[in-house]
Amino acid sequence: MTNGRRRATWSVCFALLVLLIAGCTISPEPLSDIDISQFASSTLRSATENQENVERPIDLYEAMARALKYNLDYKVEIMEKALRIKNLSLAHYKLLPDLVANSGYAGRSNFSGGNSRLLNNPGFFQDQGDVGAQSLDSSTSQERNIFSSDLTFSWDILDFGLSYVRAKQAADEVLIAEQLKRKVINRVIEDVRTAYWRAVSYERLIRKLRQLDGRVRKALANTRTLYKTRQTSLITVLTYERELVEIRRELQRLEGDLKIAKSQLAALMNLTPGTKFSLVKGTRRLRHLRLKVPYRKMMAKALRNRPELLEVQYRLRINDKEAEAALLELLPSLRTYAGLNYDSNSFLFNQHWLSWGAKASWNLMNVFEYPARKNVVAAQDALLRARAKALTIAILTQVHISRVRYLHSRKELRTASQFYDVQRRLLRQIRTEADADRVSEQTLIREEMNTLVADVKFDIAYAALHNAYANIFSSMGLDPHPRGDLDTSLSVNALARSLKKLWSERGDRHARL
């Protein structure tokens, strides 16, 4: 090849290299507005698709069933567990030997070849440049184009042992995911109970709240007329107006608190914001919730069932397996193999052959690394055991507090009921007096407001009692659904029936109503 042609070839190669590098250059490419909008629309659509429509007023246990079936936080935990299960299935394949198929093609522009010289010259070992005569002419034993393939079966005993340990750890990770799922379920059910009864209060009282607010607006307008016309003492008028504004502010605060509760309940049931639905208006009775579990049994159940403690136990098992893995990595690796081979080179005497063998290797650095890994495993074990002790005391304290809170909530509900009863009787008397013009409109409105507030506080105390009741079972680590894996493929009605049966056995009389 002449120098000119060589330079031209190098120029073409250089140009091609520059084009290749330029083509591989990557720059940030932000999402377009269309992509963002389409993703948001499809996500919103998929978040609520395939859900049973709300066709009748929802009672407490249908709300719980919808939350367990459709709540997205719970679905995330289900998918997390499914992912752990798939990782476990993947870990099983690591236990199998390797079976590798290779094939290749090699070509060149000319034949490879060579010649050799005799080594029978006595002076060879003294001066390597002094060798014998050439033994033969240049020759080749390889074709220019060769196709080769092989199928090799290999198995590393050390890798098998390590893969077995990792698979056992992956199995424990599945069980940990189950405990995390149980925690989410308990939290969701507690929230549903509280939000449901506050939302019921909103539906019961919203009409009364708005009627009273309308009367307050009219009274305010009359008061301002009195102020402008100076028909009575200005101090009396302003004091009356201040009381009316205070009443209106309290009405708006109550309406806002209760209205949020219904939106929270809709979110827990995974209903699209703004979905219209109504609730079953249950009666408020202290005797509806009974606690059948003795105090000492509550403690024992908590220590056996709380997901946090079970999670620590599974993590201790994983850490023990890590100690086993560290010991296994100290051992030499022994890899055996056997394979089928083919080579298209026609110069070979045998183009097909079997091969086998074994190879041992030992990474001596693992011997020096082992003490450090052992210390890490020991420290992790000590940390987990310390966490278990702390959790044990914390769980027993939570059980105690949940029981105290439940008993105190019962007292508060009883007091709220008594206060509401007295306030209703007082309001009846005030109305009688107002009809006889013996009390002012201002006094009547104030007492109607006080009665409405007493009614709302009765509802809030009832919702707090339900939350405390659910919290007792959550503190014991008892699942809020029938024992075993929750079957979310059931219809809402079927799931609600199973929930009613369970909670009726636990002492919730609402499940029988």
Record the tokens describing residue 206, joined without a space. Answer: 């919203």
- Summarize the confidence of residues 466-490 as an average pLDDT: 82
> Count of CB atoms within 10 A of residue 151's CB?
14
Sequence-distant (6+) residues with CB within 8 A of 489 are none
- Check whether 367 has a pLDDT greater than 80: yes
What stretches of 116-171 adopt beta strand conformation (E)? 145-156
Q: Share the mean pLDDT of the chain.
A: 81
482: nearest Cα among 506, 513, 465 = 506
- Summarize the confidence of residues 184-192 as an average pLDDT: 87
Lowest pLDDT segment from 305-309, 318-322, 427-431, 433-437: 433-437
**Diameter over CA atoms, the chain:** 144
Residue of higher predicted confidence among 389 and 466: 389
- Summarize the confidence of residues 356-384 as an average pLDDT: 88
For the stretch 43-65, pLDDT in tens is 767 666 677 888 889 888 899 88
Sequence-distant (6+) residues with CB within 8 A of 138 are 113, 114, 115
Sequence-distant (6+) residues with CB within 8 A of 320 are 381
For the stretch 496-510, pLDDT in tens is 888 888 888 888 776
- Check whether 120 has a pLDDT greater than 70: no
Q: What residues form DSSP beta bridges with 354? A: 340
- Summarize the confidence of residues 488-494 as an average pLDDT: 84
Tell the CATH topology of 53-95+152-512.
Outer membrane efflux proteins (OEP) (1.20.1600)
- Check whether 471 has a pLDDT greater than 80: yes
For the stretch 395-414, pLDDT in tens is 999 999 999 999 999 999 99
- Summarize the confidence of residues 233-254 as an average pLDDT: 74
Distance of alpha carbon 136 from alpha carbon 281, whole angstroms: 107
Q: Return the percentage of the chain with pLDDT > 70, whole number.
A: 86
In this structure, are residues 243 and 442 in contact, taking their beta carbons and an 8 Å threshold?
A: yes
- Check whether 2 has a pLDDT greater than 70: no
318: nearest Cα among 173, 161, 169, 166 = 169
In this structure, are residues 198 and 279 in contact, taking their beta carbons and an 8 Å threshold?
A: no
Q: Cα 78 to chain center, whole Å?
A: 8
**3-state secondary structure at position 114:** strand
Sequence-distant (6+) residues with CB within 8 A of 144 are 107, 108, 109, 110, 111
For the stretch 136-182, pLDDT in tens is 677 777 788 888 888 888 888 888 888 888 889 888 988 888 888 88
pLDDT of residue 406: 92
In this structure, are residues 381 and 316 in contact, taking their beta carbons and an 8 Å threshold?
A: yes
In this structure, are residues 144 and 110 in contact, taking their beta carbons and an 8 Å threshold?
A: yes
At what angle are helices 307-328 and 157-229 packed, to 10 degrees?
150
- When pLDDT is cut at 50, 70 and 90, the band that residue 125 belongs to is very low
Ordered by start, the domain boundaries in the chain are 53-95+152-512
